[in-house]
Amino acid sequence: MALWDRIKESASTMQSQLDAKKNDLKSGAFRDASMAMCALVAAADGSIDPTERQRVAALITGNDVLQNFPADDLQRRFNEYCQKLTSDFDFGKVSILQTIGKVSKKPTEARAVVQIGIVIGGADGHFDQSERAVVREACFAVGISPTEFDL
């Protein structure tokens, strides 16, 4: 199976798993960690270009699990996290990983946040090394082994 097909299949599987847990994913900590993860993946290479920001924003608003929350609230939070990363990537990343880590005591939410990172990273069919690296860091922030997700 070609790498492109494996990435698409993995993202599709992750999204199906998320959809099955939609009713368990309604906390504010999950909302914040999800938006932090989306921003982190979007900025994984150290910058966020406007096209990438728009693509991730569209994926956020189209994601069934995230429809538990008002779209304008998600957008505001995503933009705030993106701003933290663009103003000072390293410091912003530390802050964002702390936000992601707040779901570590709820395994369902922690796994879902990691899965959202994989879905966002693989949505363009190319889950590159910088995206994988930040999702791995998020795994450590929530206390889950990256090998659970083949990272």
Q: What local confidence, expressed as pLDDT, does residue 109 receive?
A: 93
pLDDT band at 2 (very low <50, low <70, confident <90, very high): very low
Two structure tokens written together for 20:
């099955």
Percentage of residues in the chain with pLDDT exceeding 70? 84
Q: What local confidence, expressed as pLDDT, does residue 18 receive?
A: 58
Q: What local confidence, expressed as pLDDT, does residue 19 receive?
A: 55
Q: Are 40 and 117 in contact (CB under 8 A)?
A: yes
The average pLDDT across 36-46 equals 92
Two structure tokens written together for 98:
């702390």
Domain extent listing, the chain: 3-15+35-62+69-149
Q: What is the mean pLDDT of the chain?
A: 84
pLDDT tens digits for range 78-114: 999 999 999 999 999 999 999 999 999 999 999 999 9
Q: Within 10 Å of residue 54's Cβ, how many Cβ atoms? A: 10
In sequence order, what are the residues at sequence separation of 6 or more whose Cβ sits closer than 8 angstroms to the Cβ of residue 56? 38, 39, 41, 42, 78, 120
DSSP string, 56-94: HHHHHHH-TGGGGS-HHHHHHHHHHHHHHHHH-HHHHHH
Q: What local confidence, expressed as pLDDT, does residue 3 receive?
A: 42
